[in-house]
A and B are shown apart, each in its own frame.
Chain A
Amino acid sequence: MARDLWILLWKDLRVARSYRFAFFVQMVSIVAPLVLLVFLERTLGGISVPSISEYGGNYVSFLLLGVVVTTFSATSLGAFSQSLRTAQVTGTLEALLFTKARLPVLVIGMSLYPFVRESLRMAIYIAGGFVVLGLALDTVNLLPALVVFALFLTVMLSMGLMAASFTLVFKQGDPITLLLVAGSGFLSGVIYPVEVLPLWLQKVALALPQTHAIEGLRLSVLSNASFSDISAQLIVLGIFAVIMLPLAVVGFSVAMDQARTEGSLAHF
């Protein structure tokens, strides 16, 4: 499985590099938002915001973590449907299906390049936070932060497979990516804490995995939170992962059978 994933990643990297200008723009776009945060930090001048004191009170650091998670989820989630559609449109999907690589592995492999690119973006943002924005290293509890990220990654993989299932059957109009990305921007506490929302919207926000991932990462990176401090976020993300992953695999298999029944695998 590792070789299947690696060769698909290598292939996408080669293809991406062959579009030289687009590749350059992609790489530049990774660092561009960090520049915006630097100017925002200069504008706010390290003002401490009481409503986010739980996360250290620095708004730019607070925003950085929100942006990191939401950008990662938006791009990586869209990657599944997009890579599947690209394979349908470019005609490579049927050829890939004739290989010995399992289908979920193929779909994950085809989406790996944007995942890696977004993980790199995430790492650069966080590193930039330390180097440029002056985040304090002693507030970081790395291990819980990595566990939050791993659980969130599993949930995103599952959601991405579900989104790809919609693409297989309906070709366009994947509602999962649309709802999760649009919903999380408003509700997950990206630019303001969830607590400022009306109570009923706070309840809706709790149904989004991004809310718990952002919260868990902020607490572990900005407030030195331990596993027990973020146990609620870990449990919720764990439940999401345990339920979503098998559901996504079964759902994808059903979608595949449906597409084979309708003869629409290569339709676009």
Chain B
Amino acid sequence: MALAIETENIVKRFPVTNSLGDVFAFWKRPTVEVLRGVSLEIEAGEATALLGPNGAGKTTLLKILAGLILPTEGYIEIDGEDVTDGSAARDGRLIYVSNEERSMFWRLSGRENLRVFATLQHLGRAEQSRLIPELLDLVGLTEHADRPVMRYSSGMKQRLAIARGLLVKPSVLLLDEPTRSLDPAGARQMWNFIRTELVEKLGTTLLMATHNTEEAAALCDRVAVLHNGELRAHDTVSSVISMLTGSERWIIRTTGQWNGATASVQALPGVHRVGELTDVEVDGFAVELHVDGSEDRIPVIVRHLVDSGVGVTGVEKAQVSLGAAIEQLSRTA
């Protein structure tokens, strides 16, 4: 399948202004490196989530793709064309929708906002008359189209921003935390809208920055994980989990507390982490272990626990969640 987005070795260093001297001697200002050689390939029609902790570089990468920030080094292709200078957004092939609620003219109605942006996108009157009601309908705002945007809820503003992006029928849509300010029900509605209307029906290629791993798993075919400006993984959810953790998750149920055994188990070969179980309910005591892929580690650990006086009642292999894998990445990096 053809590539919709291809980046090669994107580096971004932002100049830092610490003093008035830096303003005048701008050519020798110190810099901070936010992206370190990000190379990413996303196929046409694919939905990809960009995950990573705060400061990982997600928004910077989206803004570079959108042309709002120029990369220091690297190369960007959208639909096979070099757009490193940000021209993809200007010619309407790509649209970036930020989580910024204020990006609309609040005192105009939703319909008037779309009219202003449609005119600036050089759509003719006839096309506007056809397209604007269609888009308002698509994002479920027909009833509220003539109300000022300042009276819209966060979700409505977000949907209007998406409708604005669709005025030009972009082949690539960049969404920056689309559900950040929505309540759980609103977020689920938005997921459904993005997946069904944008990705499945319109076939838009989606790259979406999010902190929400549940959202990423529900909406996207693949996830890309950024950490400290580096692309640490880019694949399906299950592949990314094993790539990030490099270990398997085991749950060991015991008759009582481990007490001193925790530290000694942690010291055994192949054990990456011993921790409290947070996402599974069990009767009695249970601890999770992250152990490297070799299954023969487990009997050794169980024997060690028994020798330490801990009664083991059960051992089971468990799925590591995407969130836990990313959390682990943040802790270890």
Give the interface of A toward B (CB within 8 A): 3-4, 7-8, 10-11, 14-15, 18-19, 90-92, 94-101, 106, 170, 257, 260-263, 265-266
Dominant SS among interface residues on chain B: mixed
Given contacts A14-B107, A100-B121, contact A257 B70 (CB under 8 A): yes
Known: A98-B95, A100-B92. 11 other contacts (CB 8 A): A11-B116, A15-B108, A18-B107, A90-B105, A95-B161, A97-B89, A98-B165, A99-B117, A101-B120, A101-B122, A261-B69
A15-B107, A92-B105, A99-B121 are contacts. A261–B15 as well, Cβ < 8 Å? yes
For residue B68, which residues in chain A have a CB less than 8 angstroms away from its CB? 94, 97, 260, 263, 265-266
Most buried by A among B95, B120, B148: B120
Do residues B108 and A11 form an inter-chain contact, with CB atoms below 8 A?
Answer: yes
Question: Nearest Cβ in chain B — how far from A107, in angstroms?
Answer: 13
Interface size on B, residues (CB 8 A): 40
Total of A-B residue pairs, C-beta within 8 Å: 90
Residues on the A chain within 8 Å of B239, using CB? none
Determine whether B63 belongs to the interface, using a CB cutoff of 8 Å to chain A.
yes
B27 to chain A, nearest CB (A): 12
Residue among B86, B95, B108, B165 with most chain A CB within 10 A: B108
Q: Which of A11, A15, A97, A263 meets B14, CB within 8 Å? A: A263
8 A-B contacts (beta carbon < 8 Å): A8-B120, A11-B112, A14-B107, A91-B103, A98-B66, A100-B92, A260-B67, A262-B15
Q: Are A4 and B14 in contact (CB under 8 A)?
A: no
- Find chain B residues with CB under 8 A from A7 CB: 115-116, 119-120
Contact A262-B14, Cβ < 8 Å, known A4-B119, A11-B105, A100-B120: yes
B: residues with CB less than 8 A from A are 12, 14-15, 23, 60, 63, 66-70, 86, 89-92, 95-96, 98, 100-108, 112, 115-117, 119-122, 148, 161, 164-165
Beyond A7-B120, A98-B90, A99-B121, whether A260 also contacts B98 by CB under 8 A is no
List 10 A-B pairs, minimum CB-CB distance, nearest first: A91-B102, A99-B120, A7-B119, A18-B107, A263-B69, A95-B103, A101-B120, A260-B70, A91-B103, A91-B100
Q: How many whole Å from B157's CB to the nearest CB in chain A? A: 11
